Amino acid sequence: MNPPPPDPAPPDLAADMAAILAHALADRAAGQGALPDLLGLEGADLARLAARFWRGPPLPDLDRPLAPPPPDQAAIALMIQWRGGSVSAESGWLAQILARRAMEGGHLWEDLGL
C-alpha cells in the first residue's frame, strides 16, 4: 500500500513553526529541559529550522546532544513521515517535533503551543 500524495505546505507554516519554537523556549525557560530534547531534533536541524522560520533571538542549546528517543516516539515519527508522503526537510522536522511532543501528557495542540 502506497501513502497518499502529500498535501501542499500550508501558507502559514512559518507562523506555526515559530509558535512551536516559542512554546519550546518557554518550556526551556521553565526548566523543562534543553531545546533539542524538548523538540526531538538535533542542534544542526534546529539551526536549519531556525534559519528558515525563526525571527527571534538565537536559539540556545544547539550544541547539546539529543538523547535517543524512546521506541514509541521513533515509531510515531516514522508513521507520520510515511503517512505524510513527503521527504522534505520541513516534513522530517515536523514529524520529529510532533512525535516528541506527543509523548507529553497533555493535548498535543497544547504541547505544541498552538
Digit-coded pLDDT (tens) for 21-39: 999 999 999 999 999 999 9
CB-based contact 56:21 (threshold 8 Å): yes
Residue 10 has pLDDT above 70, yes or no: no
Name the region of 26 (left: φ>0; alpha: ψ -120 to 50; beta: rest): alpha
First-residue to last-residue Cα distance in the chain: 32
Helix (H/G/I), strand (E/B), else coil: 45: helix
- Cα 92-97-103 angle, rounded to 5 deg: 130
Domain ranges of the chain: 13-111
Give the residue with greater pLDDT, 89 vs 27: 27
pTM here? 0.81
CB-based contact 64:34 (threshold 8 Å): yes
